[in-house]
């Protein structure tokens, strides 16, 4: 059975290999994995890895990606055959962007509204302020009348901001989570979201690069990971957020699971290990790969672009 990816989180792992196996020594535990069974190796945090191990992985076609300890994506190493990109990237950068941006904005908003409706049904309508859901659905309807991508981006961001504020009402106030913030993360909820998004970003980046697309050329977003953000914002509520809320509401995160300093909130190793397991189960790589295939067919004029749902 092929392992879709291997994730090493936290700090202090020593990673080495011979020609056929990779060996991970972490906290007194030694794990050996045949290199031929790997397709994606994700390192989160600070670890020691031999350059010969990187060479062995890349030679076997393994995609290697790196994240900061809080899940912030840093970069990747890909085999040479991931770089046959000229035809696809030419199409990617010359296609009319509006319909792609609209599809991403629409699904990002709808997926969040659907998630909120589900939480309200399961937990109770009291999680919503009066008229709040009407405002969100009104934003979704406004998209059809907008002609500028900047307008789509603004509305999508407004909905995301409201969405996170509502999620904050679903969990204990002891976590001090009010809304989604930028780095550094000072509360455990933002830290957990970031960790999950880092894993989802790595999975999306691998698929994007594997499809010979430019991860930095998006349609709705701008920046180094623009295309990755276009896609993963549509899937965060389903693949990451639902698991975060379930984890926090279960009471499995107690005060010993994280440490707050004046600069940031640090998740403990045991929590990181559990999150790796949870998110590994919820991130749907087949769905991500199918989305990239659809995007490429759309760029070639073979099919209309849309966001693949569950």
pLDDT per residue as tens digits for the range 86-141: 889 999 999 999 999 999 999 999 999 999 999 999 999 999 999 999 999 999 99
> What integer is the mean pLDDT of 176-191?
95
Task: Give yes or no on whether 6-67 and 86-299 have one common fold.
Answer: no
**Portion of the chain with pLDDT greater than 90, in percent:** 88
Instruction: Give the DSSP letter of residue 38.
Output: B
Domain spans, the chain: 6-67, 86-299
Here the tokens at position 194 are 């970031």
Residues 6+ apart with CB under 8 A from 119: 127, 166, 167, 170, 245
What predicted TM-score, i.e. pTM, was given to this entire model? 0.91
Please give the pLDDT value at position 84. Answer: 58
Going by their DSSP bridges, the two strands 63-67 and 40-44 should be labelled as: parallel
Give the whole-angstrom CA distance, residue 32 versus residue 50: 15
Here the tokens at position 106 are 């629409």
pLDDT tens, residue by residue, 254-307: 999 999 999 999 999 999 999 999 999 999 999 999 999 999 999 999 999 999
The partner residues of 266 in beta bridges, in order of sequence, read 259
| Nearest by Cα to 116 from 150, 167, 155, 154 | 167
User: Which CATH superfamily includes the segment(s) 86-299?
Assistant: CRISPR-associated endonuclease Cas1, C-terminal domain (1.20.120.920)
Here the tokens at position 247 are 């984890």
Indicate the length of the chain as a whole number: 310
Please give the pLDDT value at position 87. Answer: 87
- Please calculate the CA angle 188-194-195 and round it to the nearest 5 degrees: 90
227 exposure class (CB count in 10 Å sphere: 0-12, 13-18, 19+): buried
Here the tokens at position 140 are 């979704």
Please give the pLDDT value at position 4. Answer: 64
| 165 has a pLDDT exceeding 90 | yes
Number of alpha helices (DSSP H) and beta strands (DSSP E) in the chain = 10, 10
Give the whole-angstrom CA distance, residue 147 versus residue 98: 8
> What integer is the mean pLDDT of 149-173?
97
Hey, what's the torsion of the CAs at 293, 297, 303, 305, to 10 degrees? Answer: 60
What beta strand segments (E) does the chain contain? 6-8, 11-17, 21-26, 29-34, 40-44, 46-49, 63-67, 73-77, 258-260, 265-267
Please give the pLDDT value at position 79. Answer: 82
Q: Which CATH architecture has domain 6-67?
A: Ribosomal Protein L15; Chain: K; domain 2 (3.100)
Here the tokens at position 232 are 């993963």
- Please calculate the CA angle 288-72-201 and round it to the nearest 5 degrees: 5
């Amino acid at each position: 059975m092929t392992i879709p990816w291997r994730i090493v989180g936290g700090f202090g792992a020593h990673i080495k290999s011979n020609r056929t196996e990779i060996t991970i020594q972490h906290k007194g535990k030694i794990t050996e994995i045949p290199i031929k069974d790997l397709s994606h190796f994700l390192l989160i945090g600070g670890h020691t890895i031999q350059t010969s191990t990187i060479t062995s992985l890349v030679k076997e076609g393994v995609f290697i990606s790196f994240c900061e300890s809080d899940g912030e994506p840093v970069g990747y190493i890909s085999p040479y055959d991931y770089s046959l990109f000229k035809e696809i990237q030419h199409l990617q950068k010359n296609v009319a962007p509006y319909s792609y941006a609209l599809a991403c904005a629409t699904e990002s908003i709808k997926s969040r509204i659907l998630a909120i409706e589900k939480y309200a049904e399961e937990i109770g309508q009291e999680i919503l302020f009066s008229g709040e859901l009407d405002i969100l659905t009104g934003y979704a309807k406004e998209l059809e009348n907008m002609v500028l991508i900047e307008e789509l981006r603004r509305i999508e961001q407004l909905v995301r901001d409201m969405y996170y504020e509502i999620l904050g009402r679903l969990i204990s106030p002891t976590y001090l989570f009010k809304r989604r913030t930028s780095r550094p993360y000072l509360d455990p909820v933002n830290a957990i979201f970031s960790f999950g998004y880092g894993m989802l970003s790595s999975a999306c980046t691998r698929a994007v690069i594997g499809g010979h697309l430019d991860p930095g050329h998006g349609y709705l977003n701008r920046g180094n990971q623009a295309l990755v953000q276009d896609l993963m914002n549509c899937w965060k509520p389903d693949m990451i957020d639902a698991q975060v809320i379930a984890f926090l509401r279960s009471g499995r995160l107690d005060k010993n699971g994280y440490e707050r300093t004046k600069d940031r909130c640090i998740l403990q190793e045991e929590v990181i290990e559990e999150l790796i397991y949870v998110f590994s189960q919820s991130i749907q790589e087949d769905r991500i790969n199918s989305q990239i295939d659809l995007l490429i067919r759309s760029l070639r004029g073979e099919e209309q672009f849309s966001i693949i749902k569950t």
